[in-house]
């Protein structure tokens, strides 16, 4: 199974990707996670990426494409993969097609997780993450019992730099302008599937797996 996951920031792509990797035992390739790690580790790449990420802009294609190419060439991707957060624009999608053609591993499906704008805003502005164990909360939908500490480990909860309101608006605008057109791009290739991303996480996951297996 070679999957591209599409969906606006906050649509729940990452959550569904984690469930898919457990079920299909294939790696998740999240460009957002790779870039955030580079920022935390203060690598040269992380330093370059941070200014774009903090503004809600896309990191230049040249940076991201290199990362994905390198990852797709690793052995564990031979059995399949889930790309989460990549491609983000048509140029990345075209490059990806070329890379996968060379590897003789064409995409099986592009799966779009669809969520309304208002819900996305609440999901993103309300999101809090534990600094210690990574557990995620949402102040509107799934709060921790103590406002600023984690129920699981007591760690401090923080808001991602790019989850601040102004940045979120920009990220959603960038999604609409640059990433949403990929739904048509993959529809043209006959591999798009769309799922409603509002509701119970497990119910959404069941819809996804029945779509993937139909």
Just list the catalytic residues. 13, 88, 127, 160, 171
CB of 121 to ligand AMP, least distance (A): 14
Range in contact with ligand AMP (rule: CB under 6 A) among 16-24, 55-63, 118-126, 191-199: 55-63
CB of 93 to ligand AMP, least distance (A): 10
Size of the site for ligand AMP (CB under 6 A): 17
Angle, CA of 93, 94 and 95, to the nearest 5°: 90
Q: Which helix (H) or strand (E) holds 2?
A: strand 2-6
Q: Determine if the peptide bond prior to 87 is cis (ω within 30°).
A: yes
110 contact partners, CB below 8 Å, separation of at least 6: 3, 4, 6, 182, 183, 186, 189, 191, 192, 193
How many whole angstroms separate alpha carbon 49 and alpha carbon 70? 17
| Length of the chain counted residue by residue | 214
- Closer by beta carbon to ligand AMP, 32 or else 197: 32
Q: Using the rule CB under 6 A, which residue among 16, 31, 112, 144 binds ligand AMP?
A: 31
- Judge contact between 203 and 165, C-beta under 8 A: no
Q: Is 59 in the site for ligand AMP (CB under 6 A)?
A: yes
Q: Is 4 in the site for ligand AMP (CB under 6 A)?
A: no
- Closer by beta carbon to ligand AMP, 17 or else 150: 17
**Which residues of the shown chain bind ligand AMP in the complex (CB under 6 A)?**
9, 31-32, 35, 52-53, 56-59, 64, 85-86, 88, 92, 162, 171
């Amino acid at each position: 199974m070679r999957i591209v996951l599409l969906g606006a920031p906050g649509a729940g792509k990452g959550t569904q990707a984690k469930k898919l990797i457990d079920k299909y035992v294939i790696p998740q390739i999240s460009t957002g996670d790779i870039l955030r790690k580079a920022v935390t580790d203060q690598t040269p790449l992380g330093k370059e990426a941070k200014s774009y990420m903090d503004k809600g802009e896309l990191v230049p294609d040249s940076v991201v494409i290199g990362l994905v190419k390198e990852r797709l060439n690793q052995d564990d991707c031979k059995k399949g993969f889930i790309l989460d957060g990549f491609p983000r624009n048509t140029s990345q999608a075209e490059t990806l097609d070329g890379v996968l053609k060379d590897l003789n591993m064409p995409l099986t499906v592009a799966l779009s997780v669809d969520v309304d704008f208002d819900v996305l805003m609440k999901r993103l502005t309300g999101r809090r993450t534990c600094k210690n164990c990574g557990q995620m909360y949402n102040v509107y939908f799934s709060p921790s019992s103590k406002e600023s500490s984690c129920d699981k480990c007591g760690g401090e909860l923080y808001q991602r730099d790019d989850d601040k309101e102004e940045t979120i608006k920009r990220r959603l605008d960038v999604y609409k302008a640059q990433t949403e057109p990929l739904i048509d791009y993959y529809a043209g290739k006959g591999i798009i599937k769309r799922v409603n991303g509002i509701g119970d996480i497990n119910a959404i996951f069941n819809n996804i797996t029945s779509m993937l297996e139909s």
